[in-house]
Amino acid sequence: MTSLHKQLIARSFGAASGYDAVARIQRIAARQLAQRIAQTCPTPGPQRILEIGCGTGFLTQHLRRLFPAAQIVATDIAPGMLHQTQAKFLDDPALSCHVMDAEQPDLTGPFDLICSSMAMQWFSARHETLRRLAALLSPGGVMAFSTLCRDSFTQWRGYYATLGLPCPMPVYPDLAMLEQEWPRTGKGSWTHETIIEVPQSALSFLRELRAIGADVPTTAQVLPGGLRRVLKQADRDATFSVNYNIAYGTFRRTQNCGVFVTGTDTGVGKTLTCAVLARAWDASYWKPLQSGIADEPADTLSVATLAQLSSARLHQPAGIYAAPLSPEDAAACEGKVIDPDRIILPHNPDSRPMIVEGAGGVMVPISTDFLMLDLMERLGLPVVLVARSSLGTINHTLLSLAMLHQRNIPVLGIVLNGPDNPYARSAIERHGKVRILADFPLLADVNAEAVAQLAHRVPPWETLRPGKTDP
């Protein structure tokens, strides 16, 4: 969708001063969506809520009734709509309004609930927008949407088809398409209902669309006089009705149990750290992409030996490559291209956490337009960042943290490998706003006994929470 078209949408809805008086379907959809949210969100309810396309506050009012203590950020692309919402909540200090294009969210998560009623049909890139919004969810967080779907306005579209005219109304997705567009970081489902209205005439239907700002056409161009012909065609029918097929979707981000271990560089001690964490937390281990096996043993074998893991606690890599290069280049050397969609977090049959080891650092390429950072975001695990303790580590560590924070990826903590460096430790904690999870000294001999000793330096898994900075 062009920025000009978005400006038209914002201007049209912003000018809809009579929205509340005629937006009957929008009221119904907001009420129905609120009921689904109440059934989906666990007690005691979300603490932080992001509402997309709040309009004049139909859903916002339900949210405040359901969750009186929650912090709500209500957003809309149309400032005029936000002003109307704000006027209804003047005495609510826990609610703020923010002008925002939902397809380019500029807020910082995490949110426990992200919801939107009857705004999603205006998205030009639903799949990408849902991915971006899901990245703002806390683990276990919920998204809930209502939107128009396939076969809405059947009779009205039929008039255009009979006259051989292009219909300026958007083509809405069916439920199967909506199901396919949920992000891979969780699970969602869609249901739908049909609401039928019988307006006084086709002309009154159009006038009400204009009154709520929903008369912005698609790129389809109707010939001069075409609308007049459509209205005449509608007048020939004894009854003119409008069907609204409304889809309701809920999505929950996976509350994955485990961590993604990455480093500020190659060779900083990620594999040793993974072995120590697996030993300390009685965890399973998975390295999705393994390269460099032509020069040294695979990391899965090393971790299994050092942490003394059984085969039941090891998961096979999604890709193994000989060359000691980035996954993208190592695969290319073998005439292969990595498909990120095939890198799926393995199922853990028990409740133990999983240690996932990345390759290199956060910006290492996996394939075209897909970095290790994208994989971290997709898997939805908090990150343990491994860094050297030596001179230069402050810059490298803070740069890596900046990229993780930019994507709203939670950081469980930092592991420093090498001689004790209290200055680096303090600077990283203060400027990176993270905890130092553990310090590992240089080892004369890396073996299972040394790993067992280092495991005592790691806090118990049950005591850790992403984003908590105290030791």
pLDDT tens readout for residues 257-292: 899 999 998 889 999 999 999 999 999 999 999 998
The secondary element (H helix, E strand) that includes residue 387 is strand 383-388
**How many Cβ atoms sit within 10 Å of the Cβ of residue 195?**
15
For the annotated binding site, the residues are 267-272, 291, 357-360, 441-443
pLDDT digits (tens, 9 = 90+) for 192-208: 999 999 999 999 998 88
Q: Residue 465's pLDDT is what?
A: 58
Question: Which residues contribute to the annotated binding site for Mg(2+)?
Answer: 271, 357
State which H helix or E strand residue 4 sits in.
Answer: helix 3-14
Query: pTM for the complete prediction?
Result: 0.64
Q: How far is CA 258 from CA 249, 252, 391, in A?
A: 28, 18, 30
The one-letter amino acid code at 14 reads G
Nearest to 202 by CA among 237, 152, 169: 237
Q: Is the bond preceding residue 349 a cis peptide, omega within 30 degrees?
A: no
Three-state DSSP class for 417?
Answer: strand
Q: Which two tokens stand for residue 297?
A: 């043993």
Multiple choice CATH, 258-463, 3.40.50.720, 3.40.190.10, 3.40.50.2300, 3.40.50.300: 3.40.50.300
* Listed range (8-17, 257-266, 295-304, 373-382) with the worst mean pLDDT: 8-17
Per-residue pLDDT, averaged over 308-336, amounts to 94
Determine the average pLDDT of the residues in 147-153.
96
pLDDT at 136 over 80: yes
- Residue written as token pair 């292009």: 166
Binding residues for substrate: 291
Phi, psi of 286 (to 5 degrees): -145, 125
Q: At 284, which amino acid appears?
A: S
Is the predicted pLDDT of residue 469 greater than 60, yes or no?
A: no
Active-site annotation holds for 433: no
Q: Is the pLDDT of residue 450 over 70?
A: yes
Q: What is the C-alpha to C-alpha distance for residues 304 and 251, in angstroms, rounded to an integer?
A: 36
Instruction: Using alpha carbons, select from 117, 7, 6, 3 the residue that is nearest to residue 52.
Output: 117
Please give the structure tokens belonging to residue 359. Answer: 């390759």
More confident position, 297 or 56: 56
Closest among 290, 291, 277, 356 to 324, alpha carbons compared: 291
Find residue 194's DSSP bridge partners.
Answer: 245
What token pair was written down for 206?
A: 């159009």
Q: Dump strand ranges (E) for 153-288.
A: 186-197, 242-253, 258-263, 284-286
Pick the catalytic residue: 6, 88, 287, 433?
287
Average per-residue pLDDT for the chain:
90
Contacts of 343 by beta carbon, 8 Å cutoff, 6+ apart: 288, 289, 318, 319, 366, 375, 378
Looking at the chain, which residues constitute the CATH 3.40.50.150 domain(s)?
A: 3-253
Assign domain 3-253 to its CATH superfamily: Vaccinia Virus protein VP39 (3.40.50.150)
Residue 1 has pLDDT above 70, yes or no: no
Mean pLDDT over 448-469 rounds to 83
For the cut 50, the answer to whether the pLDDT of residue 470 exceeds it is no
- In this predicted structure, which of 53-62, 82-91, 145-154, 224-233 has the lowest mean pLDDT? 224-233
* Nearest in space to 325 (alpha carbons), one of 364, 362, 356: 364
* Residues forming CATH 3.40.50.300 domain(s) in the chain: 258-463
pLDDT-based confidence at 216, cuts 50/70/90? low
Write the CB contacts of 324 (distance below 8 Å, at least 6 apart in sequence).
291, 292, 294, 295, 330
Q: Rounded to an integer, what distance in angstroms lies between the CA atom of residue 281 and that of residue 274? A: 10
How confident is the model over 463-468, as a mean pLDDT? 62
Q: What's the rounded mean pLDDT across residues 161-178?
A: 92
Residue 378 has pLDDT above 70, yes or no: yes
**467: confidence class by pLDDT, cuts 50, 70, 90:** very low
Q: Is 154 helix (H, G, I), strand (E, B) or coil?
A: helix
Cβ neighbours of 43 (radius 10 Å): 4
Per-residue confidence at 115, pLDDT binned at 50, 70, 90?
very high
pLDDT given at position 220: 62
Q: Is the pLDDT of residue 457 over 70?
A: yes
Position 468 scores a pLDDT of: 45
- pLDDT of residue 217 exceeding 80, the answer is no
- What pLDDT is attached to residue 60? 98
In this prediction, residue 466 carries a pLDDT of 54
Res 451: pLDDT: 96
Structure confidence at residue 349 (pLDDT): 66
What's residue 222's pLDDT? 66
User: How many angstroms separate the most distant Cα atoms in the chain?
Assistant: 91
27's tokens: 């009221």
